[in-house]
Structure 1
């Protein structure tokens, strides 16, 4: 089974070759000196990748999953948010999926409604 990390890197390279700028989302928890934890980064459920097409500056979001991966509840909520605003986004299990989502301007590709 291919790791999501490898798929994500392959997608980033492929979309870059298709005249897109792509950003990887970094998140994590940090422990403060007094023992408290706080989350750094984007909201829960935010897709792994986001970017824009050079041709028209259209924004897109890509959730990366391997062949067995399923979206979590918070990812489904974020999908519903993007879906309601007709934002290009979807689940990509390969670079080909990601290119299809972005080039065709698909909204919600790979999510079950």
Structure 2
């Protein structure tokens, strides 16, 4: 199975796990992308430069990246957690991050560092190759 399919399975199982705990699913897919920006000119008729209706010509084009910074996990959210009685038994949310990989996929150095940073400050983070891995991460 590819990473996208694995991620969809994990998202489904996270929903089944979290909804009974808190009545919602405080988890989100983090998208990243790359696009082009510049001076756009829309065409409504065919021109000598061979553009078709609906095409866009971007003059002085330059790329831009959007979304989370490099290394940020694929799925982020919060897990409801009951704190100890000496902390008055309040429920708190623990930041959680899941990096989704296929069975053979490898995490980048930036992804490993992001996971380590979240764990260092008390969050729950890790690499999941299956829904079971993801639930283990969320359970801490």
What displacement does 1:75 show?
0.9
For the aligned residue pairs, the C-alpha RMSD in angstroms reads 1.4
Structure 2: runs of 5 or more not aligned: 19-24, 39-59, 82-91
What corresponds to 2:45 in structure 1?
none
For 1:80 and 1:53, locate their aligned partners in 2 and report how far apart those are by CA, in whole Å.
18
What corresponds to 2:130 in structure 1?
94
What is the TM-score with the length of structure 1 in the denominator? 0.83
Aligned length, in residue pairs: 103
What is the TM-score with the length of structure 2 in the denominator? 0.68
Confirm or deny: 8 A CA contact 1:23 1:50 kept in the other structure: yes
What displacement does 1:58 show?
1.7
Match for residue 30 of structure 1 among 35, 40, 43: 35
Confirm or deny: 8 A CA contact 1:15 1:21 kept in the other structure: no
What displacement does 1:36 show?
1.1
The structure that has the greater radius of gyration is: 2
- Spell out structure 1 runs of 4+ moving beyond 6 A: none
For 2:63 and 2:123, locate their aligned partners in 1 and report how far apart those are by CA, in whole Å.
32
Structure 1: runs of 5 or more not aligned: 106-113
More strand by share: 2
What corresponds to 1:71 in structure 2?
107
Q: Does 1:49 align with 2:75?
A: yes
